[in-house]
Structures are given as structure tokens and as C-alpha cells.
Structure 1
Amino acid sequence: MSSEPEYWFPAKRYGWGWGVPSRWQGWAVLVVYFVLLGVAALRFRPDREPVAFVVLATVLTLLLVAACWLKGEPPRWRWGED
């Protein structure tokens, strides 16, 4: 058994951050994020309640970043070598 951690979100090859999910759990998190963002857009229409929509979208995005931070490779600037 490998002692290497199994990340849900691998690091991008270039730049800082994470790429597309590499495990089903990561895909599930991403699907839930987009579904909740769609529900927020239907409930708090951006053309009628822009502040509420932006606040909710910001909270959902921060939760997505937190999931990537906790379950993804440690973020650092990458230049494509490793």
C-alpha cells in the first residue's frame, strides 16, 4: 500500500492552484458546487438581487477553494518541470 496521499485535486502543471479533479470525490465536490451555484442563480436572480447572488456565489466559491486546499496537492507556483 502506498503512503503517498491520494489527492482529489492535483496541482496544475503551470501556475498556482489546482487542475481538474483526479478522483470521484473531487468530481462530486465540483458537481455540487455548480448545482448550488445554479440554484442560487434561480433563487436570487442576478438581475434582480445582485448583491445576494454575489454574496452567495462568493461563499460557495470560498467553500470550493477550502475543499481544494484540504483535499488537494499543496499549492505552490509551478513551472511545468515536476
Structure 2
Amino acid sequence: MASNEKQYWFPAKRYGWGWGLPTVWQGWVVFVIYFVLIFAGAVAVLPNYGAPRFVAYAGALTLLLVAICWVKGERPEWRWGGK
């Protein structure tokens, strides 16, 4: 019997607003790629182009991560601990 419930990559946080850690492997892949690209930018962009460009680079990656969480995650809303 298959479940009709949508499987989210990023569940909503129990407390507060936003998403928690990934619950499926696809979410973990996105998470790891994000951190690898941030580290690569710190190594390549920061020393060669300076802090302002690195901040822009990291900001763009973070916006991309938030967009992926928005599409593949549970709807974010303020939560007080109950589901």
C-alpha cells in the first residue's frame, strides 16, 4: 500500500521558522554540495578577490539553498513544538 503523502527533503523545524536537517539522501546531497561549494569559495574566491566577492558568492549559494528548501521542503511556518 503506497502512501499518498509527499516526502519532503527538508522537514519544517519543530520550534521556530524554517527547515531542519534533511531526512532523505537527496537533501543530504544538497546540503553537502552547499558546504563543499562554500569551502571551495573560501579557498578560491576569498584570497583572490577579497571578502566582498566571497560574501556575494556565499549569499548567492545561500539563496539557492533556500530556494531548494522552499521547493522540496515542508511549508515553513512559525511552530511552537507541536505538529
TM-score relative to the length of structure 2: 0.94
For residues 3-32 of structure 1, the C-alpha deviation after alignment (integer angstroms, 9 at most, x for no partner) is: 100000001000000000000000000000
Q: Specify every segment of 5 or more residues in structure 1 that has no aligned partner in the other structure, as ranges.
A: none
Kept in 2: contact 1:46–1:53 (CA 8 A): no
- Equivalence for 1:49: 50
Number of equivalenced pairs: 82
* RMSD (CA atoms): 1.4
* Structure 1 residues 43 and 79, CA gap change in structure 2 (3 angstroms): same
For residues 31-58 of structure 1, the C-alpha deviation after alignment (integer angstroms, 9 at most, x for no partner) is: 0000000111111126960111000000
Code of the residue aligned with 2:66 in structure 1: it is V
For residues 48-72 of structure 1, the C-alpha deviation after alignment (integer angstroms, 9 at most, x for no partner) is: 6011100000000000000100000
- Runs of 4 or more off by more than 2 Å in structure 1? none
Kept in 2: contact 1:10–1:21 (CA 8 A): yes
- In proportion to residue count, which structure has more helix? 2
Matches within 5 A, 1:34-73: 34-45=35-46, 49-73=50-74
Q: Specify every segment of 5 or more residues in structure 2 that has no aligned partner in the other structure, as ranges.
A: none
* Structure 1 residues 10 and 46, CA gap change in structure 2 (3 angstroms): farther
